[in-house]
């Protein structure tokens, strides 16, 4: 019997309909004993497998899933599981994570090969894993996890094959392609990338998103969660949702909260310990919709948003509240809002004003060294284009949704990110568009040659980078 967890690499696994090869990385938990076929383990399949474990790409971005599982298993917070990390093949002609629709900007050069990728997982990979390892083969003990476009893929596969995958984990799902559009009343152009499925799908679903993911807006994911509630999913028991404050659209953020879906899907029941209210405390009678983000934390560390609780306003004539936590301003003034959930209570005071604009203006100005100022433009978060204005300076003004958050590094083009003076990666710039902003930055240098950094657009693992 192995005392420590191990990772088994299966190289050159062939996908027949895709006509390509990839590596599969299998995490076996402490205590796994291959010869003891009577002891079986739940299985978590996950996309972007080359980023699952740090040993696969030393020095690169990783979700550290093996470390999270080791820790949670050792502390008795989850059962022992097997993790099958599926290596991703970089999109060239087809994108494995798109089932039926690609964003318009990609549609003329990228075909949707998601159905063929689905066939590979369901009919080729899973049967092999079940033959070779001591797995629980039924849907109730089989989960599928992905982030960004990988979450979009997981959603489609899970609802098309609920008899195979009974648990879905969707981190920062790429359900909507949003881009800035000054001609649109909303300031956005939005393309729906996912297909609706009537009725029930997988038995349990985890869905989350950060509130600093740029144009991966929390409301896109919340709307999908509300639709699932309308289809009969029970909040907490069958559907968990988390709006994570200050989390960006990147591997680091997913690694920091991957424990949450692991606890939800494979953990033991735990008692609620704390309830807090997060989000905007000022609401406009005319302006963007504001919805509470009550976060409940359990003794085992699990954190989730309360989608349905006992909401109460002390002054409903000033500020009322709906069953989904949406605030309904009626007149200017102040009101205390109270939330009760699972025996816990939280409250905050909210202010109602006459008007808050749906969009706010964000002006970005950046100065770069003369040696790097030959380009006509540089780019900020979510493709924000800053044009050259002379004197090694670049500037751009953008109308963005109020309260949207951005964490990014400036770039001169695909994978040419800003660096510090010594050529090292710099921390993300952080912007919260909760008011009009006029921001100035100094850039020390840019990467000159193609590096291993994640670039704008679709990266090699299928995540749509906001950095």
Is residue 187 located within the same domain as residue 56? yes
In a domain, 307, yes or no: yes
Contacts 24+ apart (CB under 8 A), 424-429: 425/453, 428/248, 428/250, 428/467, 429/380, 429/381
Least confident residue range of 75-79, 189-193, 381-385: 381-385
CB distance 77 to 131 below 8 Å: no
Q: Token pair of 285, please?
A: 């009678």
Query: Which of 268, 302, 321 is at the close of a domain?
Result: 268
Is residue 203 located within the same domain as residue 62? yes
pLDDT in tens, 293-342: 999 999 999 999 999 999 999 999 999 999 999 999 999 999 999 999 99
Is residue 20 located within the same domain as residue 145? yes
pLDDT in tens, 36-79: 999 999 999 999 999 999 888 777 789 999 999 999 999 999 99
Is residue 237 located within the same domain as residue 284? no
Q: Is the pLDDT of residue 166 over 60?
A: yes
pLDDT in tens, 105-162: 898 899 999 999 999 999 999 999 999 999 999 999 999 999 999 999 999 999 999 9
Average pLDDT, the chain: 93
In a domain, 348, yes or no: yes
Is residue 207 located within the same domain as residue 286? no
pLDDT in tens, 230-261: 999 999 999 999 999 999 999 999 999 999 99
In angstroms, rounded to a whole number, what is the distance separating the alpha carbons of residues 296 and 426?
A: 33
Query: 156 exposed, middle or buried (CB, 10 Å; 0-12, 13-18, 19+)?
Result: buried
Is residue 379 located within the same domain as residue 331? no
Q: Please calculate the CA angle 385-363-351 and round it to the nearest 5 degrees.
A: 130
In angstroms, rounded to a whole number, what is the distance separating the alpha carbons of residues 106 and 89?
A: 17
Query: Which of 268, 302, 331 is at the close of a domain?
Result: 268
Q: Assign 424 a pLDDT band (cuts: 50, 70, 90).
A: very high
Query: Domain total for the chain?
Result: 3
In angstroms, rounded to a whole number, what is the distance separating the alpha carbons of residues 134 and 35?
A: 9
Q: What is the mean pLDDT of residues 368-389?
A: 90
CB distance 322 to 397 below 8 Å: no
Query: Which of 216, 248, 268 is at the close of a domain?
Result: 268
Q: Which domain holds residue 68?
A: 6-268
Q: Assign 449 a pLDDT band (cuts: 50, 70, 90).
A: low
Residue 60 is predicted with a pLDDT of: 76
Global pTM?
0.93
Q: Token pair of 230, please?
A: 């309308």
CATH number for the domain harbouring residue 186: 3.40.50.1820
């Amino acid at each position: 019997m192995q005392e420590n967890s191990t990772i088994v690499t299966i190289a050159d696994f062939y996908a027949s309909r895709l006509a390509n090869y990839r590596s599969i990385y299998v995490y076996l938990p402490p205590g796994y004993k291959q010869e003891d076929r009577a002891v079986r383990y739940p299985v978590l399949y996950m996309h972007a497998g080359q980023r699952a474990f740090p040993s696969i790409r030393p020095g690169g971005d990783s979700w550290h899933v093996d470390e999270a599982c080791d820790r949670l298993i050792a502390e008795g917070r989850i059962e022992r599981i097997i993790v099958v990390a599926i290596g991703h093949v970089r999109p060239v002609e087809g994108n494995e994570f798109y089932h039926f629709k690609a964003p318009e900007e990609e549609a003329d050069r990228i075909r949707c090969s998601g159905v063929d990728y689905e066939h590979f997982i369901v009919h080729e990979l899973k049967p092999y894993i079940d033959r070779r390892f001591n797995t629980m083969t039924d849907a109730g003990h089989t989960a599928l996890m992905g982030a960004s476009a990988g979450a979009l893929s997981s959603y489609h596969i899970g609802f098309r094959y609920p008899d195979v995958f009974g648990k879905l984990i969707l981190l920062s799902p790429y359900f909507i392609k949003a881009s800035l559009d000054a001609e649109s009343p909303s300031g956005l152009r939005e393309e729906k990338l996912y297909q609706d499925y009537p009725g029930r799908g997988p038995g349990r679903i985890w869905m989350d998103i950060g509130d600093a993911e740029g144009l991966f807006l929390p409301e896109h994911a919340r709307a999908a969660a509300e639709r699932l509630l309308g289809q009969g999913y029970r909040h907490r028991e069958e559907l968990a949702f988390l709006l994570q404050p200050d989390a960006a659209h990147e591997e680091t953020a997913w690694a920091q909260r991957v424990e949450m879906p692991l606890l939800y899907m494979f953990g033991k029941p735990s008692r609620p310990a704390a309830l807090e209210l997060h989000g905007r405390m000022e609401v406009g009678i005319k302006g963007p919709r504001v919805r509470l983000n009550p976060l409940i934390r359990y003794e085992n560390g699990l954190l989730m948003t309360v989608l349905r609780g006992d909401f109460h306003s002390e002054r409903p004539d000033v500020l009322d509240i709906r069953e989904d936590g949406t605030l309904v301003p009626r007149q200017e003034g102040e009101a205390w809002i109270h939330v009760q959930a699972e025996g816990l209570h939280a409250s905050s005071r909210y202010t109602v004003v006459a008007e808050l604009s749906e969009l706010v203006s964000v002006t970005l100005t950046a100065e770069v060294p003369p040696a790097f100022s030959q380009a006509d433009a540089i780019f900020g978060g979510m493709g924000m284009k800053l044009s050259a204005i002379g004197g090694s300076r670049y500037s751009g003004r953008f109308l963005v949704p109020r309260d949207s958050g951005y964490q990014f590094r400036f770039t001169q083009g695909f994978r040419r990110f800003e660096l510090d003076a010594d050529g090292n990666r710099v921390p993300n710039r952080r912007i919260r568009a909760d008011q009009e902003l006029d921001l100035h930055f100094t850039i020390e240098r840019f990467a000159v040659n193609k590096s291993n950094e994640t670039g704008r657009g679709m990266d090699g693992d299928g995540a749509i980078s906001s950095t």
